[in-house]
Structure 1
Amino acid sequence: MGGSPNNVSLWDEADVFALFPEDIEAGKTIADYFPASTDEPFAAPWQLVGLLNGDSGFEESRDRDSTKHPAWGYGPVIQSFKDAEYERKFTALEDNPVTQRLKSNNDTDTDVIVSTHTPAFLAFEVRDRRGKLKRRITWRPADVTYDGGTENDSDLDEAEFAASIYPDDQKRVMHKQDENKLAPAATSWTATVTATGGDMLLKVDGVATTPITQGATSTAVRNALAALANVGAGNVTVSLASGVYTIVLAKGGVLTADGANLTGGTVTVAAA
């Protein structure tokens, strides 16, 4: 059985924050209003939307136009994509100045005015009880539209919003801030090879690679480790200098080695 339960999430709490473009000071950009880290809260001029409907959650959709291009006598041989669209929906339970403004940016104290959308930077945050946190903050103002609500004698008053989210000039759609206190810290190891021939095995938490030839390049060692089910591509880096491999396991783990098939020397593993 593979996988890790630490990668499974059940979000217990969530918030949405809005920052209206006119509240950004002259000479500043939205990046100046990003919290420095997940330990820093959203501060003014960010405004809390308020209580949310947890059953509705954050519904995200991504759409794009696609075209299949045929070759004479073959039919479609390649597909192109363009005009990607991002949308997030959320349902607010509070009737407060922020939700009122998102409903209709043109309303006055006495009248409801026709309004198509409200521009606003949005920050979405979800948290679970085990120390995981995920933030997504729009790089450009989203077009927020009010999709309707519910008013009756048995359900809470709700306001459903849809936010169309657009990329900036670097194609960035949302800024990410994630924290996972369950994730193991990266570990660094050295593997020193003094052998002149043969091959060896490297093991992560007891799971062995395929045989690695003495004198293998750092790329070959990295690929052998990345092929392990408990490591995976992109989760290991390897450098080589004077017969010493420096290995960093992004997901953590204990590195050991088996040099029984080496000749003219050994392999020694140590924590870096």
Structure 2
Amino acid sequence: MSGDPSKASLWADADVYIADDLTTANPADVATAYSSEWGLVGLLNGEDGFEEGRDEDKSDHYAWGGILIRTSRKNFKMTKKFTALEDNDVVRGLVYPGSTATEIVVPRHGPKKVSFEVRDGARTERLFTRRYAEVDSIATIKDSEDALKKFEVTLAIYPDANGVLFDRQSTDEVAP
């Protein structure tokens, strides 16, 4: 067999943390706990995992004779999707921002600092939005007698001026 099976990832557990204040400090390293400024989304649907979407405009440029000479790319967009299973304050802040315990209002989504953490035994990886994320979409929410209520949240990830999307902390020394 070629390759290194220890470098294949099958994560046993995960969490999403949300901070409304974009200046909230990241934990110092992967072994440091999150501060109280970070809110925990709670139970996540592990089968759905974290889906990463990438979109960009691509144009191929050809010379006479149909020879491809260059490809240009622009307008890159990254999204991260997860499914929350808890109906708690943090999830409601994503799904129904501006609402209260007695009123649900039209959502006006704003920037959030977000951290995605995955764990498997002693292995841990954390991604922190470098600039911020904003809710891109919320899938249909279904109340039912035979299925859990789910909140499928898709976040658009906004990079900084240098194109950096995430700060990464990991117990692995290998770059992604």
Q: Same fold by TM (over 0.5)?
A: yes
Cα offsets for 1:128-176 (capped at 9, x unmatched): 12x1111111012211142232321122221110000011112110111
Aligned partner of 1:17: which letter?
Y
- Structure 2 Cα separation of the partners of residues 109 and 10 of structure 1: 38
2-structure distance, mates of 1:43, 1:157: 28
SS in 2 for 1:100: helix
Aligned residues: 174
Structure 2 residue corresponding to 1:91, chosen from 79, 83, 87 = 83
Q: Is 2:64 the partner of 1:72?
A: yes
Shift of 1:120: 1.0
**Whole-angstrom CA distance in 1 between matches of 2:47 and 2:77:** 24
Contact 2:98 2:108 in 1 (8 A): no
Q: How does 1:59-208 map to 2 (within 5 A)?
A: 59-129=51-121, 131-144=122-135, 145-180=137-172
Give 5+ residue unaligned stretches, structure 1.
184-233, 235-272
Identity of aligned residues (%): 37
Per-residue deviation, 1:63: 1.2
Give 3-state SS (helix, strand or coil) of 2:69's partner.
strand
Partner secondary structure for residue 108 of structure 1: coil
- In the alignment, which residue of structure 2 is the partner of 1:36? 28
2:149 & 2:51 partners in 1: Cα distance? 19
Query: Aligned-pair distance for 1:47?
Result: 0.7
How far off is 1:44 after superposition? 1.8
Q: Describe the SS at the equivalent of 1:176.
A: strand
The amino acid of 1:2's aligned partner reads S
Structure 2: gaps (5+ residues)? none
Partner of 1:150: helix, strand, or coil? Answer: coil
Q: Relative contact order (alpha carbons < 8 A, sep ≥ 6): 1 or 2 greater?
A: 2
RMSD: 1.9
After TM superposition, the score normalised by the length of structure 1 is 0.60
